[in-house]
């Protein structure tokens, strides 16, 4: 095991066969070494800095029907909402007052937000906050749409690849296409965004081979950001009765991703904190270096329920900011409120 981990640490590469062997034979001693190596790698590239991004979940309307998602189209129990341009700008103003210099605009795939509406919104944010970065997470769009949003000032785009295994992808996404998803990521890279991919850990039917494919896909893609979190079942989806993912397995995948992509921006997700009160801190200690507190209006936070039990839905934005900073400091790290761009990226 040690030669495999040594290669990952010193060369930032591995083979599918070696990664599979690692996942299938990882014992407590090897896991401790893995976490030590991933921690040392993040210290080398980012020190103890943890970047804070302000998350604005501005619409829970979605035209997709993904089997794991609580805001899927066919869930008729969702209380749907859309924030207006002025409401979103108000969230940004509150975020700016609290020190945030990145706003992450996330929604379901909502056709109401046309290119024209989004360009107007992004332009307004950039005009009022020229020192801030805008990250979008809006799902699959056309090349021309991505280009228009980039030209308006968007800096980053988060689009999890979900899984690098075509069969698993199609089972979970009945009205989506595996190759279209990958094509969107290529479009985003061609245009010049800082690109975020990622996947869930513990999906029904997911194997170690699937996880190895995810890691190899990320190494090939070399995105600037990678979002990895545990699968948490939602009671109003087709996967309601399945067992969820674990914090421990997610930590392993975070650590391996840090070693394969040493400079990647790697979030410690809210889902980790949902499963374990110290989940976010544990993720930071194995290499995660981004946290995204919620700037959405408190009145809509519970409505953006991708999974059950999501934390911090009742907290005011200022409380979220203070709480997470205390947690990060308590874990031995430092909050960085700057834009936090990937070291290699230039617009």
Q: Is residue 191 part of a domain?
A: yes
Sheet holding 49-52, edge to edge: 290-291, 49-52, 334-336
Mean pLDDT of the chain: 97
User: What per-residue confidence (pLDDT) applies to 126?
Assistant: 98
Q: Does 194 score more than 80 pLDDT? A: yes
User: According to the model, what pLDDT value does residue 347 have?
Assistant: 77
| Alpha helices (H) in the chain, listed in sequence order | 2-11, 16-25, 28-46, 85-97, 115-128, 143-152, 166-172, 178-191, 208-221, 247-260, 270-275, 279-285, 298-301, 317-330
**In this structure, what token pair is assigned to residue 58?**
């501005």
pLDDT band with cut points at 50, 70 and 90 for residue 104? very high
Classify residue 300: in a domain, yes or no. yes
Residue 282, pLDDT score: 98
Tell me, rounded to whole angstroms, the distance of Cα 216 from its chain centroid: 18
62: in domain: yes
SS3 251: helix
How many separate domains does the chain show? 1
pLDDT mean over 162-189: 98
* Whether pLDDT at 64 is above 80: yes
Distance between first and last Cα of the chain: 41
Residue 26 within any structural domain of the chain: yes
Structure confidence at residue 122 as a pLDDT band (50, 70, 90)? very high
Kindly give the residue spans of alpha helices, DSSP state H, lying in 261-334: 270-275, 279-285, 298-301, 317-330
Range of the domain at 164: 2-336
Torsion of CA 316, 322, 323, 328, to 10 degrees: 140
Tokens linked to 231: 């699968």
CATH of the domain at 151: 3.20.20.70
Model pLDDT, residue 144: 98
Q: Look at residue 254 and tell me whether its pLDDT is greater than 90.
A: yes
State the pLDDT confidence band at 99, using cuts at 50, 70 and 90. very high
Q: Which two tokens stand for residue 59?
A: 């619409």
């Amino acid at each position: 095991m040690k030669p495999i981990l040594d290669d990952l640490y010193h060369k930032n590469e591995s083979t599918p066969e070696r990664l599979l062997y690692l996942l299938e034979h990882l014992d407590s001693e090897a896991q401790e070494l893995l976490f030590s190596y991933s921690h040392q790698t993040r210290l080398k590239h980012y020190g103890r800095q943890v970047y804070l991004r302000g998350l604005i979940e501005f619409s829970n309307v979605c035209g997709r029907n993904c089997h794991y998602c609580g805001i899927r189209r066919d869930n008729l129990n969702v209380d749907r909402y859309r924030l207006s341009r002025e409401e979103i700008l108000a969230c940004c103003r509150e975020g700016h007052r609290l020190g945030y210099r990145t706003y992450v605009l996330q929604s379901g795939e909502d056709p109401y937000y046309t290119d024209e509406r989004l360009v107007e919104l992004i332009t307004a944010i950039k005009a009022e906050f020229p020192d801030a970065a805008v990250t979008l997470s809006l799902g699959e769009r056309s090349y021309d749409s991505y280009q228009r949003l980039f030209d308006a000032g968007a800096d980053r785009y988060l689009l999890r690849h979900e899984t690098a295994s075509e069969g698993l992808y199609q089972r979970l996404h009945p009205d989506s296409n595996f190759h279209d998803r990958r094509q969107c990521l290529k479009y985003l890279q061609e245009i010049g965004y800082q690109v975020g991919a990622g996947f869930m850990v513990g999906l029904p039917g997911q194997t170690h081979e699937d996880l190895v494919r995810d890691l190899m896909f990320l190494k090939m893609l070399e995105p600037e950001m990678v979002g990895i979190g545990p699968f948490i079942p939602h009671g109003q989806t087709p996967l309601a009765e399945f067992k969820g993912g674990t914090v421990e397995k997610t930590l392993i995948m975070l650590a391996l991703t840090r070693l394969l992509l040493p400079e990647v921006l790697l979030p410690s997700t809210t889902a980790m904190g949902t499963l374990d009160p110290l989940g976010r801190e544990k993720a930071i200690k194995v290499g995660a270096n981004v946290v995204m507190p919620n700037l959405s209006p408190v009145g809509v936070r519970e409505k953006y329920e991708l999974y059950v039990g999501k934390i911090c839905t009742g907290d005011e934005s200022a409380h979220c900011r203070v709480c997470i900073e205390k947690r990060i400091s308590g874990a031995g790290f430092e909050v960085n409120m700057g834009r936090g761009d990937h070291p290699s990226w230039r617009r």
